[in-house]
Amino acid sequence: MWGIIRQKVAAGGGSPVARIRPVVSNLRNYSSAVKQMMVREALNSALDEEMSADPKVFLMGEEVGEYQGAYKISKGLLEKYGPERVLDTPITEAGFTGIGVGAAYYGLKPVVEFMTFNFSMQAIDHIINSAAKSNYMSSGQISVPIVFRGPNGAAAGVGAQHSHCYAAWYASVPGLKVLSPYSSEDARGLLKAAIRDPDPVVFLENELLYGESFPVSAEVLDSSFCLPIGKAKIEREGKDVTITAFSKIVGLSLKAAEILAKEGISAEVINLRSIRPLDRSTINASVRKTNRLVTVEEGFPQHGVGAEICASVIEESFGYLDAPVERIAGADVPMPYAANLERMAVPQVLCFLYDSSIDGCYKFLVY
């Protein structure tokens, strides 16, 4: 069912795709999307191309080499680049993250993979204190061109300690850039931009998206394809309500938008892509057009990404709002294990409710 909806959305969302992407090669025509690419392949190809372009880029993490990657993202890289550039590390997050940061201080460009971002908590001291703050503390002398990547957020049935979403945690730190791709195009473009960026980037992927296929154009497959950091993408244009989302939730939002369209409500879905820096101008422009905002995320509600977006919109576009802003987030509990409870703890699109008693306030029922 997912696959069918996705294709419908992709065909319908063909034109917005062309509008927002910066023209990298101005002579290339945007050919209609034909090739399907899995997010996993997109990440693999991005890593492959960046590693072959710049010998200073290397990958380190648990099981990235001989195991071909815990989620097979780094498949084939060990054979191609050898054990000196694709390093299997012992289970020492704090240690190897620090080693990555030290290598970045000294001129290399590490890509540090966390098996999931939950494990990054063992290394969070290095991500924040040694990487994010160093450029500031050394007053520009030492920059840290490092990328921390890995799956973030809930997977299926993995329990409380493996399902935490860290977008809000890392996005609150000045000195870090936080990116979260949704489709294969996002994954490729943003990972390439992240690896080339001279600053520490936290790259939040999603395990359940790895196996999803998305249509990609020839432009995306080009090895110099890159997406701007700090720009959101309007996945679906609309005029009645703005829905902001990132990562897997973009898929749910597009599905919801389809359902809403049948009811005559045209929803604009924004794929944030970049959590820090947040593309406040796109979000505000959209809200000024539609006058209503719903932010959706998978993480915990208090102090989440949605909270920041809502505050930003209220600060900047208060006069344009026709209804209170609405936040939809995961349930405020550690993720339960039972399948039915887990379904209840994460936003789902099973039905929505148009609440006519509150004039024009569109509500999603989260099941």
Which chain residues interact with another protein by CB under 8 A?
Answer: 22-25, 45, 48-50, 52-53, 55-56, 58, 84-85, 89-90, 92, 94-108, 125-126, 129-130, 134-145, 174-175, 177, 189, 193, 196-199, 223-224, 226-231, 277
* Strand 109-113 versus strand 177-179 pairing type: unpaired
CB of 143 to another protein, least distance (A): 4
- Active-site residue 342, yes or no? no
- Which CB atom, from 217 or from 290, has the smaller least distance to another protein? 217
- Which CB atom, from 53 or from 331, has the smaller least distance to another protein? 53
Q: Who's near 71: CB < 8 A, 6+ residues apart?
A: 40, 151, 207, 210
CA-CA distance, 246 to 187, in Å (whole number)?
12
For residues 157, 77, 124, 233, the Cα torsion angle rounded to the nearest 10 degrees is -70
Phi, psi angles (nearest 5°) of residue 8: -60, -45
- Which CB atom, from 57 or from 346, has the smaller least distance to another protein? 57
Annotated catalytic residue, options 49, 50, 62, 93? 93
Q: What is the DSSP code (8-state) at residue 298?
A: S
Q: Which two tokens stand for residue 315?
A: 């600060």
- Active-site residue 164, yes or no? no
CB of 272 to another protein, least distance (A): 14
- Which CB atom, from 137 or from 350, has the smaller least distance to another protein? 137
CB of 96 to another protein, least distance (A): 7
Q: Who's near 82: CB < 8 A, 6+ residues apart?
A: none
CA-CA distance, 227 to 280, in Å (whole number)?
17
Among positive and negative, which fits the CA dihedral 239, 242, 248, 252?
A: negative
Q: Which two tokens stand for residue 120?
A: 């990054």
- Which CB atom, from 94 or from 311, has the smaller least distance to another protein? 94
CA-CA distance, 126 to 360, in Å (whole number)?
47
Beta bridge partners of 268: 242
Q: Which two tokens stand for residue 259?
A: 């359902």
Annotated catalytic residue, options 62, 126, 162, 207? 162
- Apex 117 CA angle, 116 and 121, nearest 5: 125
CB of 320 to another protein, least distance (A): 25
CB of 229 to another protein, least distance (A): 4
CB of 346 to another protein, least distance (A): 30
Q: Who's near 196: CB < 8 A, 6+ residues apart?
A: 50, 226
- Which CB atom, from 231 or from 289, has the smaller least distance to another protein? 231
Question: Are the beta carbons of 284 and 184 closer than 8 angstroms?
Answer: no
What amino acid positions are annotated as catalytic residues?
A: 93, 162
